[in-house]
Amino acid sequence: MAAIKNILLVGVGGQGTILASKILSSGLVMAGFDVKMSEVHGMSQRGGNVSTQIRFGEKVYSPIIGKGEADLIVAFEKMEALRWLEYLKKGGKMVINDYEIPSAPILMGKVAYPQGIIEELAAKADISVFKAAEIATGLGNSKMMNVVLLGALVKALNVPGIDWEQVIKDNVKANFADLNIKAFNMGLAQV
Amino acid sequence: MKELMTGNEAIARGAYEAGAVFASAYPGTPSTEILENVVLYKDKIYCEWAPNEKVALESAIGAAIAGARSLSTMKHVGVNVAADPLFTFAYTGTNGGFVLISADDPGMHSSQNEQDNRNYAAFARILMLEPADSQEAKVYTKLAFELSEKFDTPVMLRVTTRICHSKSLVELEDRIEVSMKKYGKNIGKYVATPANGKVMRYKLEDRIKAMETYSNNTDINTAMYHGSDIGVISSGVAYQYAREVFGDEASYLKLGMTYPLPMDKIKEFAKKVKKLYVIEELDPYIENQIRMAGIDCIGKEIVPSIDELNTDILRKAVYGIESEAVTSEMAAVVRPPTLCAGCPHRGFLQVLSKKKNVMISGDIGCYTLGSAPPLLAMDTCICMGASVSAGHGAAKAFANAGLDTRVVSVIGDSTFFHSGVTGLMNVAYNKSNCITVILDNRITGMTGHQQNPGTGFTLMGEPTVEVDIELICQAVGIPKSHIFVINPLDLKETDQALTAALALDDASVILAKWPCILKKFSDQDKEDFDLSPGKCEINQEICTKCKTCVRTGCPAIHSGDNIEIDEVMCTGCAVCMQVCPFNAISREVK
């Protein structure tokens, strides 16, 4: 049986992790994989952290993974990369958006946003870091950050034979398709 | 055609394919999206949000007795609210197929407890099915309607968060149109008087025997033999974890129907394996019954009965293997959910949190987030509606002991309709001096914006009557002079109302009315409220960095070298502007 691959998308409510994981899982289904995708939401819209787990292979049983099992973690926010580090498999890869969203205790000035996260993660794992927000803003729409990150994810994942441009077209509004594909391709070039 | 679907989408699809025509529910995580997907088939299935789970269940019971295939969905604690009709409906049986979806929340992702509702099936003696993925969620929903009609019983489809909110592939099929069963008056069957009830009680035992025979023969209870060393009995999502941890060498008895249990099949399976494991999330529901049948097994002595399971926990429990994780000494700062920027609850709770010698009796909703720092504006949270009734009891106890502590009960609009109204009736009738605050944000907020009896729209999008909360309060006996209708984002007005209410010797109501900032505003909302004010800004030359604004807990206010307001997040609610002691904050005039 082909080994199951585990991907973890982590971020903060409102960052668009759900759409990115939806596009990703549609592509994997089209490629003929058995796919399970699990998300924890509920209070995510109220500033909490969000995570989506995607597992694919010949036959997937559990919809969720445990610690040390993710082949790839894509963090939409820097501190979330640190929070989920223990889910990374030894030898796994991390794609990190160099972007900070302070949480409530930080906003209130009770604690500082941790410094040196990237250096710490670089010492522990194989990481790719870039500023997806700047790329998205450069495209004229900061909301495209999630699709830029999806591009980087797909590159890092390296599953051949999937027509991602078509998958994107199938999953976004027609008048945004070109912009999304552009954002996706810029993400591809980052890893 | 195969589609990736969540368990909730698949249940809705199953109800559609099964020819269901009636659905009633009260929203609650992780069940909410079932009806939000049933409404996509509204040309075939009539569906509605009921004021609470008891009303939802009873409405579906009525439709089923009338002859329609009906379903009712709710979260695990909702079944507590609906338990009364459920237990008697088990006695009467049904006419059209009836399915109750109980969506449990092991690990309490969004709930106040993690009760295992499989116990309800055995307690109420109703047939139970447990799907283990989205495909099964759809297939079992359809089967549930058939079995309900076959055995003349309500059927409970028990799912959990990981089934509800995980996506897996589902094979879509066409809808089967099922005609209404003929309705006929049948007093002996449907009138549960003591005399009839006794007859029903004996019939119920016969039904359980027939269902048990089915359970022993159905292929949704399947044995998969791979070897004789290890056998695993499991159901629901726990089966998926077990399948992955024990692998291809173990034999499995996967149970899709878990009440009544297929005890003959279990005995046969147990005989064929040397070591028998029972893998369950939460309670030893299957294990206890297996042990009572005299079969030895390994279960809860190694598998935790608290919190949700995963492959990590199970691997450690069975093999003692800890996963190799990459760790760091550096810790991420917690990211708790907070009241949104512009949330109308913040204004009210900000004022309330400053009142001394007050017990705040809380409830279930977004305002429960006000219990966290910095507001700390909630003393209790028990269940839906408890704020008003528990507040009444506390007020009586304080008064009887001669203490001058006052009680302010805080409840939302949807929760008030759910079960706050009866509590308020008790406050008025039995004369306590509670101040009941109804935070009417014009929608059911926490679960993601469902219509309710106060919003003027139904689940199916039709305009309808609106409950007049003020009139309800008057009708139960709170005089008009003791009802304060306020804008909770106007802190002065809020403070005046609270001060006036606290000065009264008897019960009062504060109705704080302002729409949820995330809501899709109706035309009426736009007419009634100023919903696009200018944004707030801090004049850094005046700001003394006293952080009074920061202590409102608004996520748009950033405290660093300077205190700043994020202009994208700010909605112009102006709570910060009103608390600033130095008038350093201004709002852009539009």
**SS3 of B271-297:** HHCCEEEEECCCCCHHHHHHHHCCCCC
Q: Of B4-8, B101-105, B521-525, which gets the smallest average pLDDT?
A: B521-525
CB contact under 8 A, A68 and B326: yes
* Chain A residues with beta carbon closer than 8 angstroms to that of B8: none
Report the CATH number of the B532-590 domain.
3.30.70.20
Cα separation, B266 vs B23, in Å, equals 35
Predicted confidence (pLDDT) at residue A136 exceeds the cutoff of 90: yes
CB contact under 8 A, B325 and A67: yes
DSSP letter for B537, please.
E
Stretch B393-402: mean pLDDT, rounded? 98
- Asked if residues B4 and B168 have their Cβ atoms less than 8 Å apart, the reply is yes
Mode of pairing for the β-strands spanning B257-259 and B127-129: antiparallel
Report the CATH number of the B221-319 domain.
3.40.50.920
Cα separation, B222 vs B266, in Å, equals 10
CB contact under 8 A, A43 and B324: no
CB contact under 8 A, A108 and B324: no
For residue A46, give the nearest of B109, B244, B337 by CB distance.
Answer: B337
Interface of A with B in 55-94 (CB under 8 A): 60-69, 79-80, 82-83, 85-88, 90, 92
A-chain residue closest to B549, CA distance: A108
- Asked if residues B319 and B302 have their Cβ atoms less than 8 Å apart, the reply is no
For residue B4, give the nearest of A29, A80, A116 by CB distance.
Answer: A29
Query: How does the average pLDDT of chain B come out, rounded?
Result: 97
pLDDT given at position A47: 74
* Chain A residues with beta carbon closer than 8 angstroms to that of B334: 103, 105
CB contact under 8 A, A104 and B553: yes
For residue A63, give the nearest of B29, B237, B373 by CB distance.
Answer: B237
Is the peptide bond between B30 and the residue preceding it cis, with omega within 30 degrees of 0? Answer: yes
Cα separation, A42 vs B53, in Å, equals 19
Q: Of A1-10, B273-282, B438-447, B486-495, which gets the smallest average pLDDT?
A: A1-10
The domain defined by B344-530 folds into Rossmann fold (3.40.50)
pLDDT given at position B262: 98
Predicted confidence (pLDDT) at residue A134 exceeds the cutoff of 50: yes
Q: Residue A10 — pLDDT band, cuts 50, 70, 90?
A: very high
Q: Which residues pair with B298 in a beta bridge?
A: B277
CATH 3.30.70.20 domain extents, chain B: 532-590
Cα separation, A6 vs A77, in Å, equals 19
User: Three-state DSSP class for A160?
Assistant: coil
CB contact under 8 A, A49 and B335: yes
CB contact under 8 A, A48 and B336: yes
For residue B333, give the nearest of A36, A69, A111 by CB distance.
Answer: A111
Instruction: Write b or e for each residue in B32-61: b if 16 or more Cβ atoms lie within 10 A of its Cβ, otherwise e.
Output: bbbbbbbbebeeebbbbbbbbbbbbbbbbb
Mutate to test the interface with B, among A22, A37, A62, A170 (most CBs of B within 10 A): A62
B-chain residue closest to A115, CA distance: B330
Rounded percentage of chain B residues whose pLDDT exceeds 70: 100
* Chain A residues with beta carbon closer than 8 angstroms to that of B311: 62, 64-66, 69
CB contact under 8 A, A111 and B2: no
pLDDT given at position B331: 94
CB contact under 8 A, A113 and B323: no
Q: Other CB atoms closer than 10 Å to residue B118's CB: what's the count?
A: 24
Helix B263-272, helix B194-217: angle, nearest 10: 30
B-chain residue closest to A24, CA distance: B4
* Chain A residues with beta carbon closer than 8 angstroms to that of B312: 66-67, 69
Cα separation, B261 vs B130, in Å, equals 12
- Asked if residues B55 and B87 have their Cβ atoms less than 8 Å apart, the reply is no
CATH 3.40.50.920 domain extents, chain B: 221-319
Mode of pairing for the β-strands spanning A5-12 and A70-75: parallel
CB contact under 8 A, A43 and B110: yes
User: Three-state DSSP class for B229?
Assistant: coil
Cα separation, B261 vs B473, in Å, equals 49
The continuous run of DSSP H or E covering B207 comes out as: helix B194-217
* Chain B residues with beta carbon closer than 8 angstroms to that of A25: 4, 167
Number of inter-chain CB pairs under 8 A, A vs B: 167
Query: How does the average pLDDT of chain A come out, rounded?
Result: 92
Second CATH level (architecture) for the domain B2-217:
3-Layer(aba) Sandwich (3.40)
DSSP letter for B368, please.
G
Cα separation, A147 vs A172, in Å, equals 11
* Chain B residues with beta carbon closer than 8 angstroms to that of A125: 326
B-chain residue closest to A125, CA distance: B326
Q: Which of B345, B365, B341 is nearest to B449 (CA)?
A: B365
Q: Residue B323 — pLDDT band, cuts 50, 70, 90?
A: confident
Rounded percentage of chain A residues whose pLDDT exceeds 90: 80
CB of A42 within 8 Å of a chain B CB? The answer is yes
CB contact under 8 A, B325 and A107: no
* Chain B residues with beta carbon closer than 8 angstroms to that of A124: 326-328
For residue A66, give the nearest of B168, B311, B328 by CB distance.
Answer: B311
CB of A114 within 8 Å of a chain B CB? The answer is yes
Closest chain B C-alpha to A135 CA, distance in angstroms: 19
pLDDT in tens, B213-245: 999 999 999 999 999 999 999 999 999 999 999
CB of A142 within 8 Å of a chain B CB? The answer is no
Residue carrying the six token digits 């993974």: A65
Cα separation, A112 vs A116, in Å, equals 12
pLDDT given at position A2: 55
Closest chain A C-alpha to B563 CA, distance in angstroms: 9
CATH 3.40.50.970 domain extents, chain B: 2-217, 344-530
CB contact under 8 A, B311 and A65: yes
Residue carrying the six token digits 């971020």: A11
* Chain B residues with beta carbon closer than 8 angstroms to that of A47: 335-338, 340, 555
Which residues 6+ apart lie within 8 Å of A185 measured at CB?
A: A151
pLDDT in tens, B564-575: 999 989 999 999
Closest chain B C-alpha to A52 CA, distance in angstroms: 10
Interface of A with B in 94-113 (CB under 8 A): 102-109, 111, 113
Phi and psi angles of residue B331, each rounded to the nearest 5 degrees, phi first: -115, 140
pLDDT in tens, B416-473: 999 999 999 999 999 999 999 999 999 999 998 999 999 999 999 999 999 999 999 9
CB of A43 within 8 Å of a chain B CB? The answer is yes
Predicted confidence (pLDDT) at residue B322 exceeds the cutoff of 90: no
Q: Other CB atoms closer than 10 Å to residue B70's CB: what's the count?
A: 32
The continuous run of DSSP H or E covering B89 comes out as: helix B76-92
Mutate to test the interface with A, among B32, B133, B313, B328 (most CBs of A within 10 A): B328
Closest chain A C-alpha to B354 CA, distance in angstroms: 18
Which domains, and CATH codes, for chain A? 5-101+116-188 (3.40.920.10)
pLDDT given at position B56: 98
For residue A64, give the nearest of B2, B310, B325 by CB distance.
Answer: B310
| Cα B136 → chain centroid | 22
Predicted confidence (pLDDT) at residue B486 exceeds the cutoff of 80: yes
Cα separation, B464 vs B472, in Å, equals 18
CB contact under 8 A, B369 and A46: yes
Closest chain A C-alpha to B564 CA, distance in angstroms: 10
pLDDT in tens, A18-68: 899 999 999 999 999 999 999 876 555 667 888 999 999 999 999 999 999
Closest chain B C-alpha to A147 CA, distance in angstroms: 20
Mutate to test the interface with A, among B279, B309, B326, B551 (most CBs of A within 10 A): B326
Predicted confidence (pLDDT) at residue A1 exceeds the cutoff of 50: no
